[in-house]
């Protein structure tokens, strides 16, 4: 995928601008920081479906429209994003984030499924999943856990981010392996269901069979009444759970408000205890700046330290009380939820009994030994057949896994070799012990921490450049988390130039200061951002407003 152009439109303030890119490396540069380079790159990822965690405080993405023109497999297209709604070039229908993700995966011809948290079932990943591997964010990518802090994917199993994504795009678990694994999970569920039916059938044997004859003494009406009573009580418990949730929600809102007030009072106390006159507070309701005097007036407090401290203590007591109440509510809710699950389990067991009795008894007919034996044999046959299929699939998966393991072994060797080279380039750090796809937390500080994390990112991006089936641009918002001396900085730029920018396999974007561009060995497309001018402007709005006619025809308040 090659990004040709990015258009950003602030429809509320009627400002816009566009940025045109080359299919190779694109350097977003400015003479000083805080010029808006990151806003451009974050917007680029955002319109592609990446859920960016942090924009600049003055960059209100929810009040903006974004559009990219792209080329993929020699075909041109566009993507428009407004909040969590998308429009794409090959359909006029508005897409949800989930629908857009399916379209995006189909466009890239990928199928990345990840296990949901605390569940075995797999779910197609959102559009941001593949983009995660190609992105370094200046705000969130340097926390010490590679990729994990860059975006929130908490609904997936924590072990799958980013390991399972790498395994997919590098071919360690291809589509056939995933489909076979999913089929095996389905068969295991079926086997467990048959086993449960066998257990229930055995438990009912004495109720229907005697040495010489059959009888139908099973109290079907009584069991139905029991199920009805269990479900009624479960409904009552469910209502209690919902009531606890409402209470928790109300108290959390109250607690949040008190915590904001407490922070504001803390700022006021700081003001009263110092001689600084520049300290200001923010309104907890509208977020506007307040002077300490205005805050005191709003809280009906005297302008003296004692009254503020007393009120601060009172707030603290209320906060502790609310926290205790919340803990009690959480504890009570968990107890009710356990009881609710228990009653549902009992009800399901009773339903299994009814189902089997109805099947055996045919709702009213007298049972026979032949009928009972026939059903037992049928369940046994189904169990054995399912078990054999699982065994056969397990063998196939094992064979496939060995083949995929060879691919992984070769890539692992490349990764280890790259780490050795990077360790020579950055001799003051140690990359020893950082195994491929073992994303343990980096524990260093200062410049060493910056160099270590940067080197690891470069090692993984080098692997993606060489082996990945993903056709996506690399977007590197920053290579500096802490101050680096001139030699280290120069080495970092040369490394990223060699591994990413000079690659002819992928388009790339790098944000940096103009003073550092001379560290790059090659000449690339430069987009210079004027630090003294706003990124968006009125002239741009008049020029690019028509790009979003598909949205402006609708009511923007509905977005």
H-helix or E-strand spanning residue 179: helix 175-208
In residues, how long is the chain? 559
User: Quick one: tokens of 429?
Assistant: 């750090």
User: Quick one: tokens of 501?
Assistant: 């920018």
End-to-end alpha carbon distance in the chain: 28
Say how far apart CA 440 and CA 463 lie, in whole Å.
18
Predicted TM-score (pTM) of the model is: 0.61
Say how far apart CA 88 and CA 103 lie, in whole Å.
9
CA 157 to chain centre: 10
Say how far apart CA 211 and CA 193 lie, in whole Å.
29
Contact present, 400 and 445 (Cβ < 8 Å): no
Question: How would you write the pLDDT of the chain (559 residues) with one tens digit per residue?
Answer: 999 999 999 988 899 999 999 999 999 988 887 778 888 999 999 999 988 767 777 888 888 899 999 999 999 999 999 888 999 998 888 899 899 999 999 999 888 888 777 766 777 788 888 898 999 888 788 777 888 777 777 777 777 788 888 888 888 766 677 777 778 888 888 888 888 887 777 776 665 555 544 444 556 677 677 777 767 777 887 788 888 788 888 888 888 888 888 888 788 778 777 644 444 556 655 666 666 666 656 555 555 667 777 778 888 888 888 888 888 888 887 887 777 777 777 767 766 666 665 555 544 444 456 667 777 788 888 888 888 888 888 888 887 777 777 888 889 999 999 999 999 988 888 888 888 888 888 877 667 778 888 899 999 999 999 998 888 999 998 777 656 677 888 888 899 999 999 888 899 999 888 888 888 888 888 888 877 778 889 999 999 988 888 777 665 555 5
Pairing of strands 15-20, 474-476: unpaired
Contact present, 40 and 529 (Cβ < 8 Å): yes
Of 337, 382, 391, 423, the C-alpha closest to 198 is: 382
H-helix or E-strand spanning residue 148: none
3-state secondary structure 378-405: HHHHHHHHHHHHHHHHHHHHHHHHHHHH
Of 465, 420, 477, the C-alpha closest to 142 is: 477
- Residue 268's CB is within 10 A of a number of other CB atoms, namely 26
């Amino acid at each position: 995928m090659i990004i040709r152009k990015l258009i950003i439109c602030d429809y509320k303030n009627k400002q816009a601008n566009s940025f045109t890119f080359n299919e190779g490396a694109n350097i977003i540069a400015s003479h000083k920081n805080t010029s808006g380079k990151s806003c451009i790159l974050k917007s680029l990822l955002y319109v592609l479906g990446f859920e960016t965690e942090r924009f600049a405080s003055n960059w209100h993405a929810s009040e903006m429209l974004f559009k990219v023109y792209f080329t993929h497999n020699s075909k041109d297209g566009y993507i428009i994003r407004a909040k969590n709604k998308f429009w794409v070039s090959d359909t006029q229908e508005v897409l949800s984030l989930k629908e857009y993700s399916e379209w995006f995966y189909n466009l890239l011809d990928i199928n990345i499924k990840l296990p949901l948290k605390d569940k075995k079932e797999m779910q197609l990943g959102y559009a941001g999943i593949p983009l995660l591997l190609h992105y370094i964010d200046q705000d969130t990518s340097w926390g010490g856990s590679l990729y994990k802090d860059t975006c929130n994917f908490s609904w997936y199993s924590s072990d799958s981010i980013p390991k399972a994504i790498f395994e997919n795009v590098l071919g360690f678990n291809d589509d056939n392996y995933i489909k076979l694994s999913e089929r095996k999970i389905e068969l295991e569920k079926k086997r467990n269901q048959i086993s449960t039916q066998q257990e229930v059938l055995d438990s009912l044997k004495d109720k229907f069979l005697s040495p010489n004859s059959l009888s139908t003494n099973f109290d079907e009406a009584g069991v139905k009444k029991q199920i009805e009573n269990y479900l009624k009580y479960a409904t009552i418990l469910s209502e209690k759970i919902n009531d606890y949730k409402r209470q928790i929600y109300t108290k959390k809102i109250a607690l949040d408000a008190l915590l904001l007030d407490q922070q504001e009072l803390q700022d006021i106390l700081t003001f009263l205890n110092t001689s600084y006159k520049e300290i200001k507070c923010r309104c907890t309701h509208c977020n506007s700046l307040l002077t300490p005097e205005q805050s005191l007036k709003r809280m009906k407090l005297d302008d003296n330290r004692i009254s503020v401290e007393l009120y601060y203590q009172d707030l603290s007591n209320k906060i502790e009380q609310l926290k205790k109440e919340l803990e009690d509510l959480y504890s009570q809710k968990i107890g009710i939820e356990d009881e609710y699950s228990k009653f549902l389990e009992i009800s399901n067991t009773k339903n299994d009994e009814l189902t089997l009795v109805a099947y055996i008894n045919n709702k009213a007919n007298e049972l026979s030994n032949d009928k009972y034996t026939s059903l037992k044999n049928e369940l046994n046959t189904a169990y054995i057949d399912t078990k054999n299929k699982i065994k056969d699939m397990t063998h196939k998966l094992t064979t496939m896994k060995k083949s995929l393991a060879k691919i992984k072994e070769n890539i692992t060797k490349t990764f280890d070799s790259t780490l050795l080279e990077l360790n020579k380039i950055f001799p003051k750090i140690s990359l020893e012990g950082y195994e491929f796809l073992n994303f343990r937390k980096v524990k260093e500080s200062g410049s060493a921490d910056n160099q270590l994390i940067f080197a690891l990112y470069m090692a993984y991006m080098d692997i993606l450049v060489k082996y990945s089936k993903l056709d996506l641009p690399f977007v590197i918002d920053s290579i500096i988390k802490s101050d680096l001396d001139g030699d280290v900085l120069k080495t970092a730029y040369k490394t990223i130039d060699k591994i990413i920018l000079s690659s002819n396999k992928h388009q790339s974007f790098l944000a940096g200061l103009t003073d550092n561009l001379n560290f790059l060995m090659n000449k690339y497309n430069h987009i210079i951002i004027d630090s003294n001018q706003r990124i968006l402007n009125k002239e741009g709005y008049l020029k690019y407003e028509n790009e979003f006619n598909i949205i402006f025809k609708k009511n923007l308040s509905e977005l």
